[in-house]
Amino acid sequence: MRKAQKKPVIVDFIQLTKNNILEVYTEVNGKPNRKSRIAEDKWDEYEEIVKRDGLKIKTPESGGETQIASIGDYIVFGHTKELGRHCWPVKPSYFNNAYTEINK
């Protein structure tokens, strides 16, 4: 039997905290504005919802399903020829075991 090793992949990531919801939202969806689902004047209300219920992220690798990133979760960004730039939430326990931060 032959063996293979998974090639290391470099990804960008950001951890969702109570203090950077706007930054993470902007990375995932673009800046909120009057045409977005989260209007600028409703942002404070939306932040409270994210703190309580998590940030909804559409993930193309799961067929466009929505996944939830809770406060403390990492959002990992990848890029493939098929999907382009995309992201997915990762729980801290898995992230800390599977990823090693580079270029600190």
Write down the pTM of the prediction. 0.83
| Confidence check: pLDDT of 52 > 70 | yes
How far, in Å, CA of 23 to CA of 100, rounded? 22
Amino acid at 27: E
- The token pair that represents 68 in the structure block: 């939830």
The mean pLDDT of 66-91, rounded to a whole number, is 92
Nearest to 71 by CA among 87, 88, 86, 53: 53
Count of residues for the chain? 104
